[in-house]
Amino acid sequence: MNKIRTRIAPSPTGVLHMGTARTALVNYLFAKKMGGEFLIRIEDTDKERSTKEFETNILDGLDWLGLQHDALSRQSEDLKHHTDAIAKLIESGAAYESEEDSKREEGKKVTIVRLKNPGKKITFNDLIRGDVTFDTTDLGDFVIARSVTDPLYHLAVVVDDERSKITHVIRGEDHISNTPRQILIQEALGYERPLYAHLPLILGEDKSKLSKRHGATSVDDYKEMGYTKDAFLNYLALLGWHPTDEQEIFTLVELVKEFDIARVQKGGAIFSVEKLDWINKHHIEKLSDEAYFVGLDLSEIITLPQYSDERMSMVLPLVRERLHKFGDFEHEEIAFFFDTPTYKTENLLFKGKGDIADTKKHLEHVRKTLSELGNDAWSDTEVLKASIWDYASEVGRGDVLWPLRYCLSGRDKSPDPFTILPILGKEESLKRIDTALEDIV
């Protein structure tokens, strides 16, 4: 067999969607696993809807995912080869011109080109589905060009695949009904038939075809939500394919090594945001602190008056343990580490109950205890906890720990005070307790 060559042929009439990205990934994995080449062909012959902006979006998206192509072409650049093929088909009698009523302009006649259908059964071996048979009789003499110089999709794609020496056409199952038409054109032109594989559709959790009503569908959407490219690729690969063992977390290099098209399922693949989040969390957990900083949007945090890289490095583990994706990060949740919080004094009361005078007494006791600890103790969470715990247990943990945590963070929800204290340090922690005591009248 000739060198393996696969292709993805997106139409630049919209942004890069998940289904196209998954198809591109499978084509890439198959080609690279077999030592072959992966091509991109922009099918831009729909002049009314195709735009350079969409083409750029598609190419940028594939590049972001790391799916580097070995060759790039545009269908519009091959028009001469398409018209040559039309002329060849007409000359051989395999196609003919037909004057018919225009579907676009009422009352107008147009001359189109139809393939003379031999009306036979066609069987092709699908690498995923096995032998597939179509009776082409019902297709009739189908249209392959609007005119001798204006080819339609089926003819153009056949000519382009032949010229690019595509050995394997791997695409979504929604294209399976196109295959018999394209095989008939191949045979009429004397082309060698490529091998076919039709991937299962990506479905929503209601098992209908994935669409915008299920949520985000474009690659840009997931990029903007803070998913990493490695996790997104990892999840796309698992949509309809499974490895030989229970491994679920893969790099692109590992996917190439492991991929086997025989392990692609026939049935639809259910898209789950929950599973994508789980995979993304595994990938971001493996990032270095430096790489994690790059993923977070800290633009508002670094402008706060107490910000320092040192303190941020202490806060980072708290962020890392919570986030499934970078888009979950909200600067308000950690801003108190870098700026003195403001709050209403009555919120220092545990569950909004109790006596403010008792709360002041508890804070005074905690303040005195903490102030007597040496600097070394402030880097040890357990020492800080032990210094307060017995008193809190005696008078009521909530009555002691709630106002302490609240005056440090100013938030109803935040890490416990023994996590906050060593990050803020002795001086800043005592200053915030003093501020609370001053506010209590």
Q: Are 204 and 45 in contact (CB under 8 A)?
A: no
Q: How far apart are CA 338 and CA 331, in angstroms?
A: 11
User: Is residue 353 annotated as a catalytic residue, yes or no?
Assistant: no
Selected catalytic residue, list 3, 103, 120, 212: 212
Of 79, 85, 41, 34, give the one whose Cα is nearest residue 59. Answer: 41
Contacts of 105 (CB under 8 A, 6+ apart): none
Length of the chain: 441
Q: Are 265 and 241 in contact (CB under 8 A)?
A: yes
Question: Alpha helix (H) ranges present in 289-348?
Answer: 289-295, 309-322
Coarse DSSP helix, strand, coil percentages of the chain, rounded to the nearest 5 percent: 50, 15, 35
SS3 for 177?
Answer: helix
Tokens for 346, please give them: 């009555």
Give the relative orientation of helices 397-409 and 417-439 as an angle to the nearest 10 degrees. Answer: 80
Q: How far apart are CA 198 and CA 126, in angstroms?
A: 7
- Residues annotated as catalytic are 212
